[in-house]
Amino acid sequence: AQKVTQAQTEISVVEKEDVTLDCVYETRDTTYYLFWYKQPPSGELVFLIRRNSFDEQNEISGRYSWNFQKSTSSFNFTITASQVVDSAVYFCALSEAIGAAGNKLTFGGGTRVLVKP
């Protein structure tokens, strides 16, 4: 069975500090996809990034960066120079193919990020 673990339940930082969110996953699939979603207080989940298992190139997009290491089954996410608007719950998810269309996501428990002014 697939499993995603986000060991940090809550992180509190002061604005402009960097924040790194950890994600460790377990899967027997050789091809899989990993996602990060953001859930602001309003409740909807916002897609941030997707990574496939055969592309370990790390990426930076604005203040966000991701570190995918297949050898340690980790897919960590960093917010640089955090802002109050970054306050949200962040979820890591692992994708499993389910047949004709779509995918099945296994979510981690989420990490609540609180950015104080």
Partner 1 sequence: DGGITQSPKYLFRKEGQNVTLSCEQNLNHDAMYWYRQDPGQGLRLIYYSQIVNDFQKGDIAEGYSVSREKKESFPLTVTSAQKNPTAFYLCASSPGQKNQPQHFGDGTRLSIL
Do 58 and 74 contact (CB within 8 A), yes or no? no
Which CB, 45 or 114, lies closer to partner 1? 45
**Residue 114 lies near partner 1 (rule: CB under 8 A):** no
CB of 95 to partner 1, least distance (A): 7
Rounded distance between C-alpha atoms, residue 17 and residue 39, angstroms:
20
Q: Which two tokens stand for residue 41?
A: 């207080």
Which CB, 7 or 109, lies closer to partner 1? 109
In the range 28-47, which residues lie near partner 1 by CB under 8 A? 33, 35, 37, 42-47
In the range 55-84, which residues lie near partner 1 by CB under 8 A? none
Q: Which residues of 43-61 are buried (b: 16+ CB within 10 A; e: fewer)?
A: eeeeeebebebeeeeeeee
Which CB, 54 or 117, lies closer to partner 1? 54
